[in-house]
Amino acid sequence: MDKAKQEAGYRAADQVRDGMIIGIGTGSTVLYAMERISERIREEKLAVAGVPTSYQAAYRAVEMGIMLTSLDAHPKLDLAIDGADQIDPAKRMIKGRGAAHLREKCVADAAETFIVVVDDSKCVSILDGPVPIEVLPFACMPVIKRINDLGGSALIRNGSGKDGPVISDNGNFILDCTFGEIRSPEELEQNIANVPGVVESGLFTRYTGKTMVIVGAKKS
């Protein structure tokens, strides 16, 4: 699986052109893309700057010599590279295993092209995985109730290395919400967004038109 992730990440990194401002997603597959971008910066003297979607992405970019910038400086990005937890044939996705989907969605929205890097275990015919939802701690219980009303079941994500809830990079809680097979991801994304206290869900249904999916092949 790591080989497949590496292949996907490296192929995405090869789409980066000199002078581009790119969005840097979060997760293990994107780390491979960053590794290859860093190599290209050293070998080809590629000039790029990246908007990181998490502390993980920011710190790794610094270690790898990838210059950082922000959405304030660059509200439009040439491309963004990110992973996914599930993706369907229409390029609709569930993201947020790493609790970074809020910033990942801001970056995807700002990007002209959204490159999604996955291994084939992420490709499904119908989205059915848990949907991470970032919530304002103040409204956590009312949001859980409203998720139940929408036919879902919500669990507060707990930390490891800390007792109690995971706190996102934005200071919020994460709910992992199961809905079974998600027949209309667009409608569910909208219904979740309508709940007061929801900051952002990990359903990505609005960027299919600008999404390029790279599925890494396993190589021996």
Task: Output 30 or 147, the one with its CB closest to ligand 5RP.
Answer: 30
Give the whole-angstrom CA distance, residue 41 versus residue 47. 7
Contact 30, 83 (CB under 8 A): yes
Among 50, 52, 98, 130, binds ligand 5RP (CB under 6 A): 98
Among 6, 80, 82, 134, binds ligand 5RP (CB under 6 A): 82
Stretch that binds ligand 5RP, among 22-30, 44-52, 147-155, 164-172 (CB under 6 A): 22-30
Q: How many residues lie near ligand 5RP (CB under 6 A)?
A: 17
Among 83, 129, 130, 152, binds ligand 5RP (CB under 6 A): 83
Stretch that binds ligand 5RP, among 33-41, 57-65, 92-100, 158-166 (CB under 6 A): 92-100
Which residue's structure tokens are 């499904």?
124
Give the whole-angstrom CA distance, residue 144 versus residue 203. 17
Task: Output 71 or 142, the one with its CB closest to ligand 5RP.
Answer: 71
Nearest CA-CA partner of 133 in 162, 154, 112, 160: 154
Give the whole-angstrom CA distance, residue 52 versus residue 86. 21
Question: Is there binding between residue 216 and ligand 5RP (CB under 6 A)?
Answer: no
Question: Is there binding between residue 96 and ligand 5RP (CB under 6 A)?
Answer: yes
Question: Is there binding between residue 97 and ligand 5RP (CB under 6 A)?
Answer: yes
DSSP 159: P
Give the whole-angstrom CA distance, residue 178 versus residue 184. 14
| 104: amino acid identity, one letter | E
Strand 173-178 and strand 131-135: the pairing is antiparallel
Task: Output 99 or 144, the one with its CB closest to ligand 5RP.
Answer: 99
Stretch that binds ligand 5RP, among 99-107, 141-149, 159-167, 211-219 (CB under 6 A): 99-107
Give the whole-angstrom CA distance, residue 129 versus residue 92. 12
Question: Is there binding between residue 9 and ligand 5RP (CB under 6 A)?
Answer: no
Task: Output 139 or 166, the one with its CB closest to ligand 5RP.
Answer: 166
Task: Output 49 or 57, the one with its CB closest to ligand 5RP.
Answer: 57
By annotation, the residues acting in catalysis are: 104
Nearest CA-CA partner of 174 in 136, 141, 147: 136
Contact 127, 88 (CB under 8 A): yes
Q: Which residues bind ligand 5RP (CB under 6 A)?
A: 25-29, 82-85, 95-101, 104
